[in-house]
Amino acid sequence: MFGIVLGLIGVVLAIGGAWLLGLGGSPYYVVTGGLLAVAGLLFILGKPLGLYVYALAFVLTAVWALWEVGLSPWDLTPRLAGPFVLMAAALLLAPSLLRQGGGKIAGYGFAALAVFAVALAGGIWSKSRNSVVAALPQQQAEQIYDDVANAPLKGEWNAYGGGNSAQRYADLTQITPENVKNLKRAWTYNTGNIPDKFGSELTPLKIGNRVYGCTGMNGLFALDAANGKQLWSYDPKVPNEWVPYTAACRGVSFYKVPNAKPQDICAERIIEGTLDMRLIAVDAATGQPCPGFGKDGAADLKVGLGQKEAENDAPKPVIPGTAAITSPPVIVQGVIVTGQQVLDGQRRWAPSGVIRGYDAVTGELRFAWDINQPDVTTDPPASGYYSFGTPNSWAAPAGDEKLGLAYIPMGNSAGDYYTTLRSAEEKKYNSALVALDVKTGKPRWVFQTAHADVWDYDLGSQPSLIEFPTAQGKVPALLLPTKQGDIYILDRATGKSLQPVEERPVPQGGAEPDQRSPTQPFSTYHTLRQADLTEKDMWGLSPIDQMICRINFRRARYEGPYTPPELNRHNIQWPGYNGGSDWGSVAIDPRRGVIVANYNNTANLNMLITREQASAEKLFPVGDPRGAGGKSGAEGAGPMAGTPYAIDVNAGWVMPTGVLCTRPPYGGIRAIDLASGKTLWDRPFGTARRNGPFGIPSYMPFEIGTPNNGGSVVTASGLIFVAAATDDLIRAIDMRTGDTVWSDTLPAGGQANPMIYEQNGKQYLLIMAGGHHFMMTPPGDALIAYALPD
């Protein structure tokens, strides 16, 4: 039986290895496959030579693995773990094969394997720990904000990013690296809301003595900040059909009406954008809709939105689920500025990405920025619709009260992977940060991070307001992270980069060769981008699936960053659309001058297919009845109706086993010196305890570095709090070293940004454990507060 198993493995490796060798890949698999096939036959025949032939194959495998990847334990695992198990089985058979000395040979062999196993486990442990590259900068005592309005209020969390600066920084010191080990759960609030497409992503606000938040279906609530007891709730009754890819509500916004009396209705209000395209204002004191805001406390943002199946078709009203607001709006000089998510991959002539501003008191439309209709500045034109399929903004914006600017992270035009039908204005503003004047709704400046984007590299991170040190003194600036991993530092008033940006040549050709930009921008300040992939970076559970990934790597087109999509041939996108920094953004310690970035290293395997192929697979847009029972894919994959092609996306480049084709770590966390952009320390982020083949948890405590969604918060005491990874842990990390100094297991996935506040002299850590279907973490509804014991 052992011989049959060994022989079959050998035949598979030999055949696949010959294919790989023909594609220009490693000769190891065909050679080793041949040896295993011979060894298997000899075992079947009961020949002792089979043991020695397999031993030769094992030694060859070990030498080849060490030559190819050195002592990197996670790289060695798929190369050696399977052969190790087979060698153990072969040694168990040694006494029956070898009449003389078989037991002694087996004993020596098992001793050698035990040493090998201990060394491999020790290597994994050592590799999971980071090395400190440089000491942290000294804390600053002077004023660190150019405008006091941008500073987070002491003990509060008064805006989505902590304060108007969106730095995710708490100027609190009660919880320290020394006492954080004593942190305990103080209270838990269960929202009672777990949608089918779960993924709350909530970061609540804390204003005064109250915590304000929302459920994935936009139910609003206020809690007592000291004990988590509900004070009020409000259900806007969002229909399930309006849920896009994920039922997410990342947060709400707070506005205090100027000159209002405390007893006035809605003198302080909570503003929320909903999945069914409403802008809602409720009284922060009672949760009742503000009667003077819009109609019955809501403005209808469906006005002007629609879609078409083809460019010359008659437009139709927006289809539920194809447009939604998932991020909190920004309020600048009394104007609520919001965009909306437009469901990726559906139609080229999708709902508009129009950005609109509303009066924070009355809910009246103050401006509309329609990229393709610049003369349309408020209500839609006579046609009744804003421009179709223009770049949209689904991420959280930021704002500068003094400059009167709202900073809008823009996404891509609809039909993300096809550019021929985009206008010149769309190509100018796609995947760019745009500064809008809130008085006029007109762009003051634009900074683009991807030209003619066909990789879904929309800006998902909220930009942060910082004071950037230069030779001429501190400059009010913006820090902008990207999915590509690049971090940019921009002058807040002009959009000019304060550090050199290089336009580098990138691969050309693809399905639209005349559309490709010859160069793309690369930050010289700092990048989270990893080295280009090679064949040896392919991974798997065993040599067989690693070989399959190598074959697919050789078959696909990959020539480095920005390899363009091909028709009927896979292209590798590295990093993928969940790479670098996404909606969790980064945290910044303004006193130490340190950026903390958790990030992803995952690839996408993409392929354009013809319209006929898409129809055969029943790949039709949302709302088309022909799509019932058809293929469903990753976020962003879809029919792209109105273009010649559909797009097939394997997000993460996942094998049928549920294991990724590229080697770990898939996620990391890094501390960066703000002044120089140099790395202070870097480490894998996320253990393998909840990950494993076929969705079966491995319970391995080693820091493999998992995909992660959600960001961190930093404190004045030098702690980083972060959940985000797929291991369902929330951690405290010592900012000085990158070492984890405390953790707790959450009841569901922690794909959300934590926040910190103070109430009655006690410091609290708050995290939403809602899980996330895209990240394959368990669902939940628990908002959990931690504090030190009394």
State the SS3 of 370-406. CCCCCCCCCCCCCCCCCCCCCCCCCCCCEEECCCCEE
* Amino acid present at 460: G
- Give, for 330, the enclosing helix (H) or strand (E): strand 330-332
Q: Cα 204 to chain center, whole Å?
A: 19
Residues in the chain: 790
Tokens of 230: 């509900």
d(CA 404, CA 676): 29
Which one from 344, 370, 437, 456 is the annotated catalytic residue? 456
Is 456 a known active-site residue? yes
Query: What is the maximal distance between C-alpha atoms in the chain?
Result: 98
547 vs 622: CA distance, rounded Å: 37
What does each C-alpha distance from 108 to 89, 111, 484, 781 come to in angstroms? 14, 5, 50, 54
Distances (CA, A) of 720 to 252, 598, 788: 23, 11, 16
Which residues are CB-neighbours of 263 under 8 A, at least 6 positions away?
A: none
CA–CA distance, 305 with 318 (Å, rounded to integer)? 6
Rounded CA-CA distance 349/371 in Å is 14
Residue showing tokens 């849920």: 243
Distance CA 93, CA 365 (A): 80
**What is the spatial distance between Cα 168 and Cα 552, in angstroms, rounded to a whole number?**
41
Q: How far apart are CA 218 and CA 631, in angstroms?
A: 29
- Dihedral angle of Cα 268, 270, 271, 277, to the nearest 10 degrees: -140
Classify each residue of 241-266 as buried b or exposed e, where b means 16 or more C-beta atoms within 10 Å of its C-beta. Answer: ebbbbbbbbbbbbbbebeeeeeeeeb
**At 75, phi and psi to the nearest 5?**
-75, -30
Contacts of 352 (CB under 8 A, 6+ apart): 304, 305, 342, 370, 385, 386, 387, 388, 389, 390, 392
Tokens of 531: 């080295």
Identity of the residue numbered 607: M
Closest CA to 593 of 169, 178, 174: 169
Residue 685, CA distances (Å) to 123, 487, 646 in order = 17, 19, 34
* CA within 13 Å, CB half, 755: 28
Indicate which residues carry an active-site annotation: 456
